[in-house]
């Protein structure tokens, strides 16, 4: 895709973890691919921990380069990428410093993108400071998650930012929406007539959505201990995936058609009854254990975590959607750190045949199943029953596979690369609108409140397992189990 839309990409938190691991590597990939970024486009890093441009570039060489491209660094592309980078030293606590930023960028051509890769407490002060030097015109602002801590604090941020930037200028990022397989889910659902008639309560028994990680909290103990898995993963990534799985076909792929449909799903989520939380929500915290044979410490002993912390590192939920398409179909959501495997997948369990002329084996649950694996190894796998070779009519589960990396050998794009290009080119469809975000916070709030008020600690689970047994028990009550428990 050739572009000539010039831009100035201002990166707040320029020496932070996210800039190092995701944002600068993604901009480099877009630069290296050629034609995706206008030649005149500039990246202006804002930070306090470097004295000047040379020192910043040294940091980029040392810290960002190791995170770019699995295929190795193309040195010529890397050198030309560095020429795009400028640096402005700003102490965010000192709004006067923003005049330096204005002086540095006011004559640069094209749209201005302000990416706030900082803690949410800085969002509002940065927006005010930008407005005070007139930089909120001809601009887009990107807000990283988590946006707020609950509905009230998220509304406070949105209200304050909304006074400075119009909603069409605000890009609330949820990087799961930029993942190639999530895009593919839209293609699968709305590009093929095959699944649509089956994609409803009459044919679907249950749906599972799992985002499991092997990693622990790494160096983010302090942040994570004040956040927990419900805010870090469920309120955003999991509910966004759920809304894409369950939404009605949009009228078009324009930003508001897609977001309107997702919003309808979020608003149709059955409200959580505060008296029933124990039945529909499981929270856990990892204890010491082993990941693939390597011992790992308990969450409570991780740096930055309070030793008596009751923060959850695992959540499993049963969710229902109150509309004609999905009434009565349980959606089981699950996420956790230090689990047995790193996997993100959506499992659609179709109902068994109503009557089997082929014997009991045709009534087996789980044979009619679609598994959409988002990571690793992006695949879509359709399980069905087939006759086993030989005498008699014995059925066995077989699968049809679509492995994307084998089919499309190249051209895969990392989520951040796609999303950053979308911001620069003004495409909002893959960003979360304020009303979606509010609906998601509103829905999780009773659980947040209950867990805050309750003095029951989260259920322990050993690192390297699939979480507390209560998560399995919750599915067992519905006559089903998590996918890995079947094997
Ligand atoms: C982030 C969370 O949004 O997503 C992290 O803050 C989590 O805690 C990460 O590790 C997972 O993303 P991915 O793309 O690695 O699955």
Residue 386 C-alpha to ligand 1 middle, in angstroms? 38
Q: Is 175 annotated as a binding residue?
A: yes
Q: What residues are labeled active site?
A: 237
Instruction: Report which ligand 1 atom has the smallest distance to the Cα of 224.
Output: 8
What does residue 13 show for φ and ψ, rounded to 5 degrees? 80, 35
Residue 211 C-alpha to ligand 1 middle, in angstroms? 9
Closest residue CA from atom 9 of ligand 1 = 233
Residue 98 C-alpha to ligand 1 middle, in angstroms? 31
Kindly state the tokens that stand for 37. 């970024």
List the pLDDT tens digit at each of the 487 positions of the chain.
445 589 999 999 999 989 999 999 999 999 999 889 999 999 999 988 888 999 999 999 999 999 887 667 889 999 999 999 999 999 888 888 999 999 999 999 999 999 999 988 899 999 999 999 999 999 999 999 888 899 999 999 999 999 999 999 999 999 999 998 898 899 999 999 999 999 999 999 999 999 999 999 988 899 999 999 999 999 999 999 999 999 999 999 998 999 999 999 999 999 999 999 999 999 999 999 999 989 999 999 999 999 999 999 999 999 999 999 999 999 999 999 999 999 999 999 999 888 888 877 666 656 789 999 999 988 999 999 888 899 888 888 899 988 887 888 777 788 999 999 999 999 999 999 999 999 999 999 999 999 999 878 999 999 999 999 999 999 999 999 999 998 6
Q: Is 370 annotated as a binding residue?
A: no
Per-domain residue ranges for the chain?
Answer: 7-144, 177-413+433-486
Q: Which of 210, 233, 313, 415 to mutate to test the pocket of ligand 1 (most atoms within 8 A of CB)?
A: 233
Residue 64 C-alpha to ligand 1 middle, in angstroms? 18
- CA-CA distance, 147 to 433, in Å (whole number)? 12
Q: Is 48 annotated as a binding residue?
A: yes
Q: Which of 210, 213, 341, 344 to mutate to test the pocket of ligand 1 (most atoms within 8 A of CB)?
A: 213
Q: Is 70 annotated as a binding residue?
A: no
Residue 375 C-alpha to ligand 1 middle, in angstroms? 12
Domains 7-144 and 177-413+433-486 share a fold: no
Closest residue CA from atom 2 of ligand 1 = 232
Contacts for 105-110: CB closer than 8 Å, 24+ residues apart: 105/8, 105/10, 105/42, 105/44, 105/135, 108/6, 108/8, 108/42, 109/6, 109/40, 110/5, 110/6, 110/7, 110/8, 110/38, 110/40, 110/41
Of 126, 157, 163, 134, give the one whose Cα is nearest residue 46: 126
- What pLDDT, on the 0 to 100 scale, is given for residue 3? 56
Q: Is 185 annotated as a binding residue?
A: no
Q: Among 3.10.20.30, 3.30.360.10, 2.40.40.20, 3.40.50.150, name the CATH number for the domain at 177-413+433-486.
A: 3.30.360.10
What does residue 442 show for φ and ψ, rounded to 5 degrees? -60, -40
Instruction: Report which ligand 1 atom has the smallest distance to the Cα of 236.
Output: 3
Q: Is 179 annotated as a binding residue?
A: yes
Kindly state the tokens that stand for 70. 């699995």
Closest residue CA from atom 4 of ligand 1 = 233
- What pLDDT, on the 0 to 100 scale, is given for residue 405? 79
Q: Which of 174, 175, 305 to mutate to test the pocket of ligand 1 (most atoms within 8 A of CB)?
A: 175
Residue 335 C-alpha to ligand 1 middle, in angstroms? 10
- What pLDDT, on the 0 to 100 scale, is given for residue 2? 46
On whether the 7-144 domain is CATH 2.60.40.10, my answer is: no
Q: Report residues whose beta carbon is within 6 angstroms of any ligand 1 atom.
A: 213, 232, 344
Instruction: Report which ligand 1 atom has the smallest distance to the Cα of 176.
Output: 14
């Amino acid at each position: 895709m050739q572009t000539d839309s010039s831009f100035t990409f201002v990166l707040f938190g320029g020496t932070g973890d996210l800039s190092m691991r995701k944002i600068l590597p993604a901009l480099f990939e877009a630069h290296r691919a050629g034609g995706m970024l206008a030649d005149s486009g500039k990246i202006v890093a804002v930070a306090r921990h470097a004295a000047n441009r040379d020192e910043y570039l040294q940091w980029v060489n040392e810290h960002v380069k190791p995170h770019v491209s699995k295929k190795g660094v193309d040195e010529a592309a890397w050198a030309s990428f560095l020429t795009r980078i400028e640096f402005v030293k700003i102490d965010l606590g000192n709004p006067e410093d923003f005049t330096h930023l204005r002086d540095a960028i006011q004559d640069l051509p094209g749209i201005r993108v302000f990416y706030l890769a900082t803690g949410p407490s800085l969002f509002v002060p940065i927006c005010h400071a930008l407005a005070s030097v007139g930089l909120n015109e001809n601009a887009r602002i990107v807000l990283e998650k988590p946006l707020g801590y609950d509905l009230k604090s998220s509304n406070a941020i949105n209200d304050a930012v909304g006074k400075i930037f119009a909603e069409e200028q605000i890009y609330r990022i949820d990087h799961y929406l930029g993942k190639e397989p999530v895009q593919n889910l839209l293609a699968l659902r709305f590009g093929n007539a095959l699944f649509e008639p089956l994609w409803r309560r009459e044919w679907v028994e249950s749906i599972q959505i799992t985002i499991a990680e092997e990693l622990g909290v790494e160096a983010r103990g302090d942040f994570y201990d004040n956040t927990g898995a419900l805010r870090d993963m469920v309120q955003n990534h999991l509910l966004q995936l759920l809304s894409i799985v369950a939404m009605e076909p949009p009228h078009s792929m324009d930003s508001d058609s897609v977001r309107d449909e997702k919003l309808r799903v979020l608003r149709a989520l059955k409200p959580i009854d505060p008296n029933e939380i124990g039945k529909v929500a499981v929270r856990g915290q990892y204890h010491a254990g082993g990941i693939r044979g390597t011992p790992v410490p308990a969450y409570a002993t991780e740096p930055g975590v309070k030793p008596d912390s009751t923060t959850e590192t695992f959540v499993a939920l049963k969710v229902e959607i109150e509309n004609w398409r999905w009434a009565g179909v349980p959606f089981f959501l699950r996420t956790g750190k230090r689990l047995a495997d790193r996997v993100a997948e959506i499992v659609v369990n179709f109902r068994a045949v109503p009557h089997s002329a082929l014997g009991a084996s045709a009534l087996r649950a789980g044979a009619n199943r679609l598994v959409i694996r988002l990571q690793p190894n992006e695949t879509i796998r359709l399980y069905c029953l087939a006759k086993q070779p030989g005498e008699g009519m014995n059925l066995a589960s077989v699968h049809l596979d679509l492995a994307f990396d084998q089919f499309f050998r190249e051209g895969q794009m990392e989520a951040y690369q796609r999303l950053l290009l979308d911001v620069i080119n003004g495409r909002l469809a893959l960003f979360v609108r304020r009303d979606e975000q509010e609906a998601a916070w509103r829905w999780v709030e009773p659980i947040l409140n209950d867990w805050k008020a309750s003095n029951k600690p989260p259920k322990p689970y050993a690192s390297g397992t699939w979480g507390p047994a209560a998560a399995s028990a919750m599915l067992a009550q519905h006559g089903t189990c998590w996918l890995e428990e079947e094997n």
